[in-house]
């Protein structure tokens, strides 16, 4: 390929880890993929992964976690399985990508464990913090979007998709209310990182809002200011 046709990818020092959070059907996958498309068009090196998953081993663990044949799973066993999947994803896949300056978009991450296993299952918050830290090697998200929808809307969207519930989705309203309380607390405690958005807004409106926040963050991580983008004559 002639040198002139070589496309220069935009690199972010230390990479940028963006996560999408919220209960089932809140729009994580739709927004993660829209954002990835937009950033790819702008020549960022972008990788999208889902949690649990993203490596062969982590996908196998995902199958065990979500299998409705394992309704007997103890809360602590569930926690360790999620952290095992995350530890493998981080060390095998995400850490090298972030080191190379890529933008990594994660459909669920550490906040899911805090919300579901901490608030939902009521496991010890301090222990979950430690376990999350070990699994993600203390590389926490740079930006997080919490898409907030009522539980009833989650059920409506799932019904529209005519999809069977997995093991986690079999839980009842009280469980998801605790999870939502957890997410709200996470967002409240870390407003600089977590953007608590109304997931009932239209897909397009959310997409645009998310893009503006991400662009601002990427510009700041790359040391780009209005001045460097549009130098004065």
Ligand X SMILES: Nc1ncnc2c1ncn2[C@@H]1O[C@H](COP(=O)(O)OP(=O)(O)OP(=O)(O)O)[C@@H](O)[C@H]1O
Q: Which residue is nearest to Mg ion (CB)?
A: 29
Q: Which of 108, 120, 128, 133 is nearest to 19 (CA)?
A: 108
Binder of Mg ion out of 11, 29, 91, 92 (CB under 5 A): 29
**Longest CA span, the chain:** 68
Taking the C-alpha atoms of residue 158 and residue 152, their distance in angstroms, rounded to an integer, is 10
Q: Which of 209, 218, 210 is nearest to 46 (CA)?
A: 218
Nearer to Mg ion by Cβ, of 107 and 218: the residue is: 107
Give the 3-state secondary structure of residue 147.
strand
- Check binding of 221 to ligand X (CB under 6 A): no
- Check binding of 26 to ligand X (CB under 6 A): yes
| Interaction partner, residue 217 (Mg ion, ligand X, none; CB < 5-8 Å by kind) | none
Residue 24 beta carbon to ligand X: minimum distance, rounded to whole angstroms: 4
- Check binding of 204 to ligand X (CB under 6 A): no
- Check binding of 203 to ligand X (CB under 6 A): yes
Residues 27-56 that bind ligand X (CB under 6 A): 27-30
A 10 A CB-CB count for 217 gives: 17
Q: Which of 42, 38, 48, 41 is nearest to 16 (CA)?
A: 48
Nearer to Mg ion by Cβ, of 28 and 121: the residue is: 28
- Check binding of 164 to ligand X (CB under 6 A): no
Q: Which residue is nearest to ligand X (CB)?
A: 27
Contact 123, 182 (CB under 8 A): no
Residue with tokens 């940028």: 16
Q: Computed from CA positions of residues 228, 230, 232, 233, in that sequence, does the dihedral angle turn out positive or negative?
A: positive
Nearer to ligand X by Cβ, of 12 and 23: the residue is: 23
Interface positions with ligand X (CB under 6 A): 22, 24-30, 157, 161, 199, 201-203, 206
Interface positions with Mg ion (CB under 5 A): 28-29
């Amino acid at each position: 390929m002639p040198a002139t046709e070589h496309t220069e990818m935009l690199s972010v020092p230390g990479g940028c880890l963006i996560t999408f959070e919220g209960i089932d059907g809140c729009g994580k996958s739709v927004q993660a993929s829209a954002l990835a498309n937009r950033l790819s068009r702008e020549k960022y090196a972008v990788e999208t992964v889902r949690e649990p998953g993203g490596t062969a081993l982590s996908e196998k663990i995902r199958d065990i976690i979500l299998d409705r044949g394992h309704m007997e799973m103890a809360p602590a066993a569930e926690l360790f399985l999620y952290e095992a999947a995350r530890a493998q994803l981080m060390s095998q896949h995400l850490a090298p990508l972030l080191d190379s300056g890529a933008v990594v978009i994660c459909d669920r991450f550490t906040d899911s464990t805090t919300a579901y296993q901490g608030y939902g299952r009521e496991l010890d918050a301090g222990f979950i913090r430690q376990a999350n830290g070990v699994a993600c090697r203390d590389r926490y998200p740079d930006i997080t979007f919490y898409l907030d929808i009522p539980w009833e809307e989650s059920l409506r969207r799932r019904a529209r998709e005519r999809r069977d519930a997995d093991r986690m989705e079999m839980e009842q309203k009280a469980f998801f209310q605790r999870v939502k309380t957890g997410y709200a607390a996470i967002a409240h405690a870390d407003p600089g990182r977590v953007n608590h958005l109304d997931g009932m807004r239209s897909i397009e409106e959310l997409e645009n809002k998310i893009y503006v926040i991400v662009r601002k963050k990427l510009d700041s991580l790359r040391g780009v200011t209005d001045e460097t983008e549009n130098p004065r004559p």
